[in-house]
Chains A and B, each alone.
Chain A
Amino acid sequence: MKNIIRDSVAGFKTLVVGMRVTIDQFFRRPVTVHYPHEALKMPDRYRGHIELVRDPETGKSLCIACKSCEKACPSDCIFVDGLKREGEKRKSATEFTLDFTKCSLCGACVEVCPTDALRFTKSYNLASTQKQSYFFDLMKRMEEQKK
């Protein structure tokens, strides 16, 4: 009998303690961020999809079409084509496409590139209703960025 009363009182006390915890949180400021009205800044190393880096001097892509990234990619999402233009020492890329539907954002391509011609973007709002919108033409993207 005494035990039951003692246990009931002790149990009731734990309930009161729990309620004190939540009411304490009730009067604190919410911790959430109201996306999309406000958004957090992506950290520097954030891995979005890749894009080509432009040579600051020539304004052209740094890519030498060596196809290392194409080979390194575990998901087969990169296609590179290039040719050696006259008067240039190295090959340069003519076509560079990314099939983002398959990309796992692993970073293998960026790490393997000998000329640092690839980098991650910070874009993450990529919703679309069409599959085609994820086949990125990275050459075109780079050209557009110039403007």
Chain B
Amino acid sequence: MSGAPLNLTKGPDETFILNLGPQHPATHGVLRIKLTMDGEYVVRAEPVPGYIHRMHEKMGENRTWNQYLPNPSRVDYLSAMAYSHAHVAVAERAAGLEVPPRAEYIRVIVCELNRVSSHLVWLGAFLLDLGGFTPLLYAFDDREMILDLLEGITGSRLTYCYHRFGGVCNDVDDTFVRGTKAFVEHMRPRMKLYRDLVTDNIILRKRLTDIGHISADTCRRYGATGPVIRGSGVPYDVRRNEPYSAYPEFDFDIPVFPEGDCMARYLVRMEEIVQSLRIVEQAIGRLPDGPHIAPKVPKIMKVPPGDYFFATEAARGRFAIRAVSDGKEIPYRIKLRAPSFSNLSLFEEASQGMMLPDALALLGSLDLVIPDIDR
């Protein structure tokens, strides 16, 4: 019954080209998708990225390590914390800088809060793609609490620039600790609201179940990560597979759903919110005392020559920085591995033969952030 693959052998004159974007409500940014359509069926979907390319990699090569601090958070503005984390961590790994445990805990807390807020934006935007407007506003209401908390300690609401080499720039205060605990308390019952309003809804179930199937093999071939690959039954999560920071000290599950359809990806993200809340609760409960930044950090970071690599689990999947240093103040090369780019690249293959609304549901379930694709 679903968007059953249709016979694609019709002549080319039967098809027409539909330009989805660069400005279209469903692409959430300046992504363009060139659709070859046969009626309502997608014959070929060719993503055309690049409309918001800002040369973040090149910028890394003409400024000092410190000056690059604001950049990573602007690559994927929705999970800025994980990106900044990767950047400072690659330098710390290279320079052998010891990070105090309190700083690591704070990093985990802010990163997980950021993940929750990112998933909430996705939930709203995804439902918007599916034509449901109200959950967006509820999700933003909850997200607002996270943004207020993070703004209180970092001074910004989106592009935090909170991480520093050897720690974080501000210590957390009592207001933050209390607020975070209150947020976790508040968020748990809200998950029930989302379940009643969205997850269990028959219309949503019908729209997502068995739609947009992506096999584990396709995910591997295209390098898809994050909730996309976990929705296809592969338990790959950087926090588990390449543990970093304080993550090994916490007890949490990696939600995996084997179906590989839009519903599986949806459920993975909803479950991840719950797991992130668990991590936040544990971390805030046993927040160690001590400094929030390593005591002896050079004012201007210098990294010994070499080729370094660090990956973090961002909200959309594996974000990694490869930094090549020649020992100068300025890195020789910065390479950013952005999860959205890999996740988008499988769209062409996965969307073949789908109907337009299903293809858009699939696109939404990949949770793309366009600046993250273009960098």
Known contacts A14-B200, A21-B193, then 10 further A-B pairs from the complex at CB < 8 Å, ordered by chain A residue: A14-B202, A43-B151, A43-B155, A45-B170, A46-B151, A74-B67, A104-B74, A107-B155, A108-B69, A111-B169
A15 vs B197: C-alpha distance when bound (angstroms):
8
Contacts of B196 in A (CB 8 A): 17-18, 20-21
Check A108–B67 contact: CB distance below 8 A: yes
In angstroms, how far is the closest chain A Cβ from the Cβ of B175?
Answer: 9
A25 vs B141: C-alpha distance when bound (angstroms):
12
Number of interface residues of B (CB under 8 A): 32
Check B169–A15 contact: CB distance below 8 A: no
- Asked whether any CB of chain B lies closer than 8 Å to the CB of A11, the reply is yes
Contacts of B197 in A (CB 8 A): 18, 21-22
The 5 closest A-B pairs by CB, nearest first: A74-B67, A11-B202, A47-B155, A106-B70, A45-B155
A104 vs B69: C-alpha distance when bound (angstroms):
11
A43 vs B169: C-alpha distance when bound (angstroms):
16
A-B residue pairs in contact (CB < 8 Å), sample of 24:
A10-B202, A11-B202, A12-B202, A14-B201, A14-B202, A17-B200, A18-B196, A18-B197, A18-B198, A18-B201, A20-B196, A22-B197, A43-B151, A47-B156, A72-B67, A74-B69, A74-B70, A74-B71, A107-B155, A107-B161, A107-B169, A108-B67, A108-B70, A112-B299
Pick the most buried of A46, A107, A120: most chain B CB atoms within 10 A of its CB: A107
- Asked whether any CB of chain B lies closer than 8 Å to the CB of A126, the reply is no
In angstroms, how far is the closest chain A Cβ from the Cβ of B80?
Answer: 12
In angstroms, how far is the closest chain B Cβ from the Cβ of A4?
Answer: 13
Check A106–B155 contact: CB distance below 8 A: no
Contacts of B170 in A (CB 8 A): 45
Of the candidates B71, B153, B200, which one forms a contact with A45 in the assembled complex, judged by CB atoms under 8 Å apart? B153
Check B152–A31 contact: CB distance below 8 A: no
A21 vs B161: C-alpha distance when bound (angstroms):
38
Contacts of B152 in A (CB 8 A): 43-45
- Asked whether any CB of chain A lies closer than 8 Å to the CB of B23, the reply is no
- Asked whether any CB of chain A lies closer than 8 Å to the CB of B154, the reply is yes
- Asked whether any CB of chain B lies closer than 8 Å to the CB of A142, the reply is no
Per-residue interface assignment for chain B, residues 69 to 82, with 1 indicating a CB less than 8 Å from any chain A CB and 0 otherwise:
11100100000000
Check A106–B154 contact: CB distance below 8 A: no
| B residues lining the A interface (CB < 8 Å) | 63, 66-71, 74, 134, 138, 141, 144, 148, 151-156, 159, 161, 169-170, 193, 196-198, 200-203, 299
| A residues lining the B interface (CB < 8 Å) | 10-12, 14-15, 17-18, 20-22, 25, 31, 43-47, 72-74, 104-108, 111-112, 120
Check A74–B63 contact: CB distance below 8 A: yes
Check B156–A105 contact: CB distance below 8 A: yes
A21 vs B141: C-alpha distance when bound (angstroms):
15
Contacts of A104 in B (CB 8 A): 70, 74, 159, 161
Contacts of B141 in A (CB 8 A): 31
Contacts of A46 in B (CB 8 A): 151, 155
A22 vs B68: C-alpha distance when bound (angstroms):
45
Check A15–B151 contact: CB distance below 8 A: no
A65 vs B246: C-alpha distance when bound (angstroms):
41
CB-nearest residue of chain A relative to B134? A22
A111 vs B134: C-alpha distance when bound (angstroms):
42
